Structure 1
Amino acid sequence: MRTESQTLEFKRLWKDDYLRTICAFANGEGSRLLVGVDDDGQVIGLENGRELLETLPNKIHNKLALLVDVILNQQEGREYLEVAVQGTYAPVSYAGKFYKRSGSNTVELTGSNLTHFLLKKYGKTWDDIAEERFSLADIDPLTVEKFKRLAQDRIPGIQDEESTKALLRKLNLYDGEHLKRAAILLFGRNPQQYYIQSHSKIGRFLSETDIQSSDIIEGNLIDQVDRLMDVLRLKYLKAYISYDGMHRRETLEYPYDALREAIINALIHRDYTDTSNLQIRVYDDRLVMYNGATLSPEVPIEKFDQPHQSRPFNPTMAAVFYKCGYIENWGRGTLNIIDYCLKAGLPRPEFAYEWGAVRATFYRKQRQDEHAVGGVSGGVKKLLEFIEENPGLTAKAISEAMDTPLRTIERWLKALREQEKIEFQGAPRTGGYVVKEH
């Protein structure tokens, strides 16, 4: 039995509204529309098949400016039409609107999705577009000098480049006599003057709704990388001190290299047509990054923890970040992040895609002083106090009552069980956690 898919659609009879489906097929890689076939892929036949064979090609050409193959087929004495649509290089619209296929559905393209679709059809990306309103006066010379220092290993002789204009041309940041959007985001004195959404935010969260403190990081992207890391390190993250002989060692609660890699990835892959910004939320037990992004079909969120191709959403900016040594050009960013965390003894970070944003969650490792026998602190302590006041609840019920993710609650429960602070009493479905008597 055949089933509908990205490239195959069944219709019992013809309606002019199905021109939207043909439009969507043309904007993809080409597909087939079968008319006279039910939802299960069974041929039920057409009474006006021969009439449609004559009229449909002209109707499709007049409405969509497309030439398609319309074929009249037979199966067990029943006629059905096959409309074969080839993918087009130029975008196709129907009644002034653009459509694409998403699985077995036809969806209208609007907003940033429409913008990126049109750019892709013409072989462009958002960051590669030139803007007449930009000039060299918008470029920050200090950032240019910083880039030269960073890029001297990958671009020999870059330090000898005296002209900023010549350097930006060498980096493919000019289109004719106009600077591209990437130039302002990477090197601009004040990119937020043109793209207000290009700033980043850091916040300390006591709960999902209770914010203790926050910072806004502005400036160009090359500078934002270091400024974000400095603010995180100095204000938001704990550092643990140890000694190797006479040498003092300072270790962040999350691996520095993992956070830096995640920030660089976020800035490169951000969808700057979206009004959201990079948000870094620091909780007692985890750090979460939210980044507005449009994922490549070739690299869905499920492949973030697997070897995959490099598919930067902003390739012009990615090329500059590569040349200054910020990234490798092998699609290993998320794999490096996972490796850094595992080597530091932290849980594997998680990646998810929701509400048009990539969410990266880093889980903190509890130190010995936080779960040593005889004492607990932080979120584990809050959980112990909650169970003492509300005995007999399941992990799920506790998660809902404390407004804390179930995964976090389960991790805290495990720590308390290992310390023999709590125990589970009753049947698995009806029992709950209680504080042990000592």
Structure 2
Amino acid sequence: MSDLRINLDDLLHARSVESERIEFKATWAGEVTGYQVLKTICAFANDLRRHGSGYVILGVAEKDGRADLPPRGLSPEQMDAAGRWITGNCRRIVPRYVPRISREEVEGRSILVIWAPASETPPHQAPDGEKGDRKYWVRVDQRTVDAQHNELLTQLLNQSAVVPWDSRAAEAATLDDLSETLVREHLRASGSALVEEPDGRTIYRKMDIVRRINDHEVPRNVGLLFFSREPGRWFPGARIETSILRAGAGGDVLEEKDFRGGLAEQVRGCLAYLRREVIGSAIHKAANGVQASRRPSYPEEALREVLVNALYHRGYDEDSPHTTLVRITSDRIDIRSTPGPVPGVGRDELVRGATPRLAPPRNPRVGELFKEIGLAEKRLTGLDKVYQAMERNGSPPPEFYFDEERTFFQATLRAPAWRSAAAAIREAGELRAVGRSEEALDKLETAWRANRGSLVLAEEFVRQCVASGDLDRAESVVGTNVHLATDIERPDVVVPWLEALVADGQRERAQRFLDGQSSRLSAREAVGAAIVARRLRDADLATRLFDAAGPAILDDPRALLESAQNKLWLAGSAHREGRAGENRLLLEDARTLLERLLGMEATPRRHAWAWRELGRVRRWLREPASAVDEAYANAIRLAPDETKFREERRQR
């Protein structure tokens, strides 16, 4: 069974682990490879860059900084020899350090993965060869080097004096404070085979989220942050507090919601809430009128990155009791955490395209766990992803700020020129709730005019106009959207408005619209418009619209039934006017549509009407009486309350 807490394929392809944290060795030879591996284990244990941990992979060659697959693999003898050599010679690392060793299979070949978490007792030394002196080894980019020779020893010694907060033992907690369910959810999310280990406490040890204190084990701080149900019991700032300012009927309304639980739970919960309440979406039409794309008010990729960064880089100790704040207004989202960046990070590194200095992160293990489940980007890539996502969305660039004393850090994402459709709809609902329906319509119309590409705004405005009987006011939205290109997603406003006109007795107005605009309708709209045309008794127009809809009717039970009924009406006209050939063709077309409908899933009543129409087709095509009677019998069985079916059967 694998002892790795991350997915092996992700590791080999450096998806969730930076390439400088991985070293590949194609073969094993103790007298040569062994001491190279020993020095690299020492370097990963010293963790100069505060990456958190590193991996040495034996049996896989390296090519351009990546695994050269399929692996060469190691023989059983080499696997045993390598395991014994590493275990024995790690005693020569001072202070003693023991990595985790896991035997793995890749494409039928055996490899050895050595996981070296950052040590709690650095700095370490390892011998430079079998008889060489011990040296302090560190990792620089993808190389293992002598710290003293490269003038890095002072930095290593200074850094080693302080163990990262998230690695420390939470002595006030017990292993019972960890949720095995959350731990296994994390392993499943990362794709780790370790999830198959039946014993929860064994998993905790192999994940390195617990630490032995004297004769018992306690969680590390990072373990409580991710895998306790209420980390706020120990760390008051370990929760996300959101507030949404809304312009309600009585002024600004503050809606607040907190997110607790493990850090990954907080991120997912907060993102789901913002996705539902804030992000929204709109159709943005290109200037040339040819292409259009769907755009959110805030790109989720950018929002996720700044939210995860806030939890990754903030403090959780007693000096940082403040929660992570997410404040949403009509045109921006501010995410604030405490304290500010670690020393060494300057404002010039927060602009687009800047190369951040390699300042050690505050919580390297928090970052590791976020990366393993895909919630955080690899190091030095996150900010550029935010800038790129905002630019692709047509949004203003993100803003990052911290004060001179570094007491807080704030990221601001601003909405694009169009404001959030969800906010406008919500505010309109609040106005309607207190009887101010006209103001609600004004707010929806204003929001739609500022963002004519918004599907939800267009649909909600027309829906409310129809509900209030103000069909004239809705016409501008209908007219605008009917001119959008038919190959993009369009708001569902045309058909509801036409149906409302017919219901209101404005049949001539609906007819004029269809006569003038039918060629501009999308396939989906053409189906609904054809049904409206049938209500107007314009079978020829309905036929043109059904034809314009094309294949769109073939998977729509209602459209199939309406189209078949329209053909039957036309067949009756052809019969009365003596056009026998046309009559037969129309009847056969109707039969094809009805038989397709009867082979699909649909409501019993729709199937009942399809059987009734099929009975009429069979009778008019002079098919055997038994076939006609069968169709009517099925119709009556599916809709016994339709007296019309029984009456027609008797008359036949």
Scaled by the length of structure 2, the TM-score of the pair is 0.36
Gaps of 5+ in 1: 1-88, 90-118, 244-248, 382-438
| Distance in 1, Cα, partners of 2:179 & 2:418 | 43
Is 1:284 matched with 2:333?
no
Paired position in structure 1 for 2:299? 255
Is 1:142 matched with 2:186?
no
Paired position in structure 2 for 1:239? 281
Name the amino acid aligned to 1:123: V
Name the amino acid aligned to 2:262: N
Q: What pairs with 1:74-153 in structure 2 (closer than 5 Å)?
A: 122-152=161-191
Contact 1:289/1:361 (8 A) holds in 2:
yes
Paired position in structure 2 for 1:60? none
| Distance in 1, Cα, partners of 2:327 & 2:375 | 23
Contact 1:126/1:314 (8 A) holds in 2:
yes
Is 1:221 matched with 2:254?
no
CA RMSD of aligned residues (A): 3.2
Aligned length, in residue pairs: 251
Q: Please point out which of 355, 358, 361 is paired with 2:412.
A: 361
Secondary structure of 1:205 counterpart? strand
Name the amino acid aligned to 1:190: E
Paired position in structure 2 for 1:296? 342
Scaled by the length of structure 1, the TM-score of the pair is 0.52
Change (3 A) 1:191 1:312: same
More helix, by proportion: 2
| Distance in 1, Cα, partners of 2:361 & 2:198 | 30
Change (3 A) 1:167 1:312: farther
Is 1:320 matched with 2:366?
no
| C-alpha displacement of 1:223 | 0.6
Secondary structure of 2:237 counterpart? helix
| Distance in 2, Cα, partners of 1:173 & 1:359 | 30
Is 1:202 matched with 2:250?
no
Secondary structure of 1:132 counterpart? coil
Change (3 A) 1:215 1:261: same
Higher relative contact order (CA 8 A, sep 6+): 1
Secondary structure of 1:196 counterpart? coil
| C-alpha displacement of 1:317 | 1.4
Secondary structure of 2:322 counterpart? coil
Change (3 A) 1:228 1:214: same
Paired position in structure 2 for 1:168? 204
| Distance in 2, Cα, partners of 1:342 & 1:365 | 10
| Distance in 2, Cα, partners of 1:288 & 1:144 | 31
Contact 2:166/2:221 (8 A) holds in 1:
yes
| Distance in 1, Cα, partners of 2:327 & 2:255 | 10
Paired position in structure 2 for 1:344? 393
Name the amino acid aligned to 1:215: K
Contact 2:400/2:412 (8 A) holds in 1:
yes
| C-alpha displacement of 1:376 | 5.1
Q: Deviations over 1:45-68 (max 9, x none)?
A: xxxxxxxxxxxxxxxxxxxxxxxx
More strand, by proportion: 1
Contact 1:217/1:228 (8 A) holds in 2:
yes
| Distance in 2, Cα, partners of 1:325 & 1:184 | 20
Q: Deviations over 1:71-126 (max 9, x none)?
A: xxxxxxxxxxxxxxxxxx9xxxxxxxxxxxxxxxxxxxxxxxxxxxxx95623121
| Distance in 2, Cα, partners of 1:145 & 1:324 | 12
| Distance in 1, Cα, partners of 2:195 & 2:294 | 34
| C-alpha displacement of 1:206 | 4.9
Paired position in structure 1 for 2:222? 182
Q: Deviations over 1:261-284 (max 9, x none)?
A: 111111111111212111111111
| Distance in 2, Cα, partners of 1:135 & 1:283 | 41
Name the amino acid aligned to 1:313: R
| Distance in 2, Cα, partners of 1:241 & 1:342 | 16
Contact 2:186/2:373 (8 A) holds in 1:
yes
| C-alpha displacement of 1:151 | 1.2
Change (3 A) 1:171 1:123: farther
| Distance in 1, Cα, partners of 2:374 & 2:419 | 36
| C-alpha displacement of 1:319 | 1.5
Contact 2:279/2:299 (8 A) holds in 1:
no
Contact 2:280/2:420 (8 A) holds in 1:
no
Name the amino acid aligned to 1:329: K
Secondary structure of 2:361 counterpart? coil
More deviation, 165-174/340-349: 165-174
Contact 1:197/1:275 (8 A) holds in 2:
yes
Q: Deviations over 1:358-378 (max 9, x none)?
A: 1111111123999xxxx8559
| Distance in 2, Cα, partners of 1:283 & 1:213 | 11
